[in-house]
Amino acid sequence: MDVVSNHSKTSQIPKSPTPITLAQAALYWLKLGFISFGGPAGQIAIMHHDLVEEKRWISEKRFLHALNYCMILPGPEAQQLATYIGWLLHRTWGGIIAGGLFVLPSFFILVGLAWVYMAYGSLPAVAGMLYGFKPAVVAIVLFAAYRIGSRVLRNPVTWSIAAAAFFMIFVFKLPFPTIVFAAGLIGFVGGNIFPQYFKPGGGHGSAQKEFGPALIDDDTPTPAHALFSWVKLARITAVGVVLWVAMISALTFRYGWDGTFPQIGWFFTKAALLTFGGAYAVLPYVYQGAVENYQWLSPIQMIDGLALGETTPGPLIMVVTFVGFVGGWTKEVFGPDALFASAFVASAIATFFTFLPSFIFILLGGPFIETTHGNLKLTAPLTAITAAVVGVIVNLALFFAYHVFWPSGLDQPVDWLPVLITAIALIALFRFKVGVIPIILSCGILGMASNLFH
C-alpha cells in the first residue's frame, strides 16, 4: 500500500519542461501576436497563463520580477515583457523576435482596417462588431486586473499602495510617473523597515511552486549572455543610437526635415519616451501633436483609430500605426495616385520609431535587472510599483466602462446593451473560465447583430 501511495505521489510531481528552440519560441510569439487582446493587463495575463502555468518556461517569481522592470519603463509593458523573456531564453535575437512578432500581426491588421476605413468609409457590419468588442474589452481588463492583483496584493501594505494609486489618479489626475516615483520611494523605505511586506508575491515564497519546475526557475543561474558587462552596455547603446540616427538622417536627406516622414519619426520618438503607464498616458500628447499641430488626421478619425486600436490584438499604443497611416494618406507624400503607398510607409515609420526605444531599454537594462532578483533592497521598490500599477489598471478599466456605457456623456442615459454584454463576458471569464478569443468573437457577433437588426 505504501509503495502504491508513494508511486501516486511521485506521478503527481510535474516533470521539468523540455528545453525549447528559437524556432519553437518564435511560433509561440507569433501566435501571441494574434491573440493578445485586452490591452496590457489582458496580454500580461495571457503570458502568465501560457509561460508560467502551462509551458513553464519561466517561474512566477522571475516573471513578476521582469514585469516589475517593464512597468517602470516608458513604452508598452506587455511587449517589453515578451522581449525580456525572449531575450532571457534565446539571447539578443530571441528578444528581437519575441518583441517584433508580438506587434507584427497587429501592425498588418491595423493597416488593413485603416485602408478599409479610408477607402470605403464605415461599414454597418464593422461598426456593429466594434460596438460589441468594446464591452468585451471592459470585462477582459477587469478580469486581468483581478488576476494580477490576486498575485501581487498579498498584504495590507500592498493593498494600501494599490488603493492610494487608484485614488490619486482617479480623483486628482496625478501623472503616472509621479505615482511610480512615490510607490518606488515607499518600497525603498518600507523594504528596509518592514521587509516582510515587500517580498515578491507578498511573502508567500512558495506560491509559484504550484506550477512545477520551470526552464528559468527561481534558483536558475543567470545565463551567461544575461550577465552585466560594460562592453555589452556600450555596444547596445551604440547600435541603438546608430539605428535611430541612420533612419532619421535618411528620411531627412530624402524629404527635408520639415517633410511628413521625418516629422513622423521625430514626433513618435518623443511620444515613445513619454508612454509611462501605457497608451492612455500618452494619448493627450499624440492627440495634440497629430491632430492639432500636424493635422495628420481629424478629431473624429483619432477617436475611430483609438477604437480600432482597443479592439485589435497587440499593445494599445499600436494606435500610432493608424495615426501614421492616415497621416501618410492625408499628406499624399507620393502623390494622389499612390495614397496607399504613402500611408503604408508612414505607418511603418511611426511604428518603428515608437518601438525602437523599447528594445533598447530591455537589452540595456535586462542584465542589471537579472542581478537583482534575489536582492530585496532592490526588488522592494519594484514590488511597490507593481502594486501601484494594479490601481492604475483598475482606473483604466473604469475609463473604458465610462466611455462604453455612457457614449454621449454622464448627462445622457446609460447604453444598457454594452452593460449587459460586459456582465455576460465577466460571468464567462470568472465562472466558466472561457478564453479571451471566444469572448471577443462572441461579443463582436452580438454587437454586429444588434447593429444590423436595430
End-to-end CA distance of the chain, in Å? 67
| DSSP per-residue letters across 370-423 | HTSTT-HHHHHHHHHHHHHHHHHHHHHHHHHHHHHH-TT-TTS---HHHHHHHH
- pLDDT of amino acid 203: 38
Q: What is the DSSP letter of 219?
A: T
Q: What is the CA radius of gyration of the chain?
A: 23
Confirm if 37 and 137 have CB atoms less than 8 A apart. yes
CA dihedral 229, 222, 71, 214 (to 10 degrees): 160
- Alpha-carbon distance of 233 to 38, in angstroms, equals 34
- pLDDT of amino acid 9: 45
Non-local CB neighbours of 304 within 8 Å, separated by 6+ positions: 117, 122
Per-residue pLDDT in tens (0 to 9) along the chain, 454 residues: 455 555 544 445 567 778 889 999 999 999 999 888 666 767 888 888 889 888 889 988 888 888 878 877 878 888 999 999 999 999 999 999 999 999 999 999 999 989 988 887 566 777 787 788 778 878 877 887 787 788 778 899 999 999 999 999 888 878 766 787 898 899 989 988 888 888 765 433 334 446 778 888 888 888 888 888 889 899 999 999 999 999 999 999 999 999 999 999 999 998 888 665 555 556 667 877 888 888 899 877 776 777 677 667 888 788 899 999 999 999 988 999 999 999 999 999 999 999 999 999 999 988 888 877 656 566 688 778 778 878 877 887 787 788 789 888 788 899 999 999 999 999 999 999 887 768 878 888 998 898 877 6
Residue identified by cell 511573502 is 203
Confirm if 73 and 281 have CB atoms less than 8 A apart. no
Could you tell me which residues are beta bridge partners of residue 58? Answer: 216
CB atoms within 10 A of CB 199: 18
Q: 31-44 burial, b if ≥16 CB within 10 A, otherwise e?
A: ebbebbbbbbbbbb
Confirm if 396 and 141 have CB atoms less than 8 A apart. yes
- pLDDT of amino acid 10: 46
* Ramachandran region, residue 423 (left: φ > 0; alpha: ψ -120 to 50; beta: rest): alpha
